[in-house]
Structure 1
Amino acid sequence: MHLTAPDVHPGVLQSVALTLRPTSGSPMAMETKVLDLEPQPDGSTRLVVAPPAGLDPREHHFDATLAWTYPLGRMECAVSTRPGRRAYGDVWVLCPSAPATRLQQRAYFRARIPVPVLLRWREPADCAEDQPQPETPEPVEPIELHGVVVDLSEGGLLASVRSEPPAPGTEIEVTVRLDGHNLSQPARVIRHVDFASGGTGVAVEFTDPKVHGDQLRSVVFAAERQRRRRT
């Protein structure tokens, strides 16, 4: 893995995010942990990681992305995975297929904060074309979907839900429960992700990150400091 400096290398026992893209179906996002670093003669480094829970440790994946945080932000690298075996058990060996890059487009730092979240939105009413349209349409009851935040920032979040989320592009209201307070604000659905452990991930961006930006930023940085102390 060709990196710009040693201090941005994922360390042993560091948690990293792995996104697998199968030949059919949606991408799968999951978290795993670096078990070892294996320098190669060409100057690259192969990462040995724990096989993610719920997946066959003998699987190969040819289109995957590894992402991790470091003090100045977040790095990402395209990788392939192959099964392996070390003295401590079954592993996946991640082989870089491109140099690692710093993610410049992410404006907000994220942290893993598993708190409740509520998504609310309205689907347009279905009206047959041959039916007269009412002058004053009846209000459509909002749909509510509960979930758990996977990662959070002042600019948006990724949540795990157990039923069909609103389609990408849908305007929604998001309510996050933090420290006994409900923080509600408008948002827009960006994409869906299938988790290997089951369920669907829905990524949303906040319409105006300044609404609760100070509170969210404080919580996110505190969570990251606590995580670093544990590791």
Structure 2
Amino acid sequence: MQHRDVPPDVHPGVLQTVALTLRPTAGEPVALETRVLDLEPQSDGSTTLVVACPNGMDPHEHHFDVTLSWTYPLGRMECPVSTRPGRRAYGEVWLLRPSSPAARLQQRAYFRARISMPVLLRWTPAAEDADDTVDEQPEQPEHVEILGVVVDVSEGGLMASVRTEPPPVGTSVEATTRVDGDNLVQAARIVRHVRFANGGIGVAIAFVDPSLHGDRLRRLVFETERRRRRVRR
């Protein structure tokens, strides 16, 4: 659910890091990160955002189904935009034009922070349908594990980047993260896959019981954000 009682002129600030989700006509959505370079007011009262072309992307492409998201004092903001190529004194850029007012996301009940740390996902693969006409069936492994790197985390879940095939959406997994020398193990569920521009695969997971390690993860998120803000000053 989205909350739309947000002023229509709300937008990220200059030099703020923002996330883009591109939805091509074919294939998986692509998650990107870039930085706002300038804000250009338009005659109709809207604002065009000038952003750096994300790494690995063609600066000359147009994109019509894109979601822009960023952190704002009200919470996490989101806005549908289109992109077109442009050039400014500092080089080739993307020009983002909002197609509707920004919305504050309410479905994320937990504050997230960008944190890099390892995560181990462990699950039991679904059994293959048995074929009674074949005596020798390959044995299904009891458990499968993949190691990923956390991109962002909250007490309610995380997004991780993995290099191998992730478990299917809907799979129940055991997620292990390491915080201050302790392994935090908890049950989780795969809720989404995205493809990053660098070739990695993003896996979003939701914790089954956010209260299990909620205090530890919430403290980690807030401390990370405080350090980040001190560095920016």
1:135 matched to which residue of 2? Answer: none
Q: Give the total of aligned pairs.
A: 224
Counterpart of 1:118, as a letter, is: L
Q: Deviations over 1:147-167 (max 9, x none)?
A: 000110000000000010000
Contact 2:8 2:102 in 1 (8 A): no
Identity fraction in percent: 68
Counterpart of 1:159, as a letter, is: A
Contact 1:125 1:140 in 2 (8 A): no
Match of 2:7 among 4, 7, 14: 4
1:47 matched to which residue of 2? Answer: 49
Contact 1:115 1:149 in 2 (8 A): yes
Distance in 2 separating the partners of 1:96 and 1:127: 48
2:217 matched to which residue of 1? Answer: 216
2:123 matched to which residue of 1? Answer: 121
- How far did 1:127 drift? 4.9
Match of 2:29 among 11, 27, 30: 27
Q: Where do 1:12-23 residues align within 5 Å?
A: 12-23=14-25
Contact 1:117 1:148 in 2 (8 A): yes
Contact 2:37 2:51 in 1 (8 A): yes
Contact 1:118 1:144 in 2 (8 A): yes
1:74 matched to which residue of 2? Answer: 76
Distance in 1 separating the partners of 2:73 and 2:229: 10
Contact 1:115 1:177 in 2 (8 A): yes
Contact 2:74 2:104 in 1 (8 A): no
Contact 1:124 1:140 in 2 (8 A): no
1:143 matched to which residue of 2? Answer: 144
Q: Deviations over 1:24-65 (max 9, x none)?
A: 110000110000001111111110000000111111111100
- How far did 1:169 drift? 0.4
Contact 1:148 1:159 in 2 (8 A): yes
State the TM-score, normalized to the length of structure 2: 0.91
- The answer to whether residue 179 in structure 2 is matched with residue 188 in structure 1 is no
Change in Cα spacing, 1:139 to 1:20, as seen in structure 2 (3 Å) is closer
Structure 2 stretches lacking a partner, 5+ long:
1-5
Query: Secondary structure of the residue that 1:17 maps to in structure 2?
Result: strand
1:173 matched to which residue of 2? Answer: 174
Match of 2:87 among 71, 82, 85: 85
Distance in 2 separating the partners of 1:163 and 1:58: 30
Distance in 1 separating the partners of 2:159 and 2:170: 15
Question: What RMSD over aligned residues (CA atoms) do the two structures have, in Å?
Answer: 1.9
Distance in 1 separating the partners of 2:179 and 2:133: 46
Counterpart of 2:7, as a letter, is: T
Counterpart of 1:74, as a letter, is: R
Distance in 2 separating the partners of 1:178 and 1:5: 39
- How far did 1:95 drift? 0.5
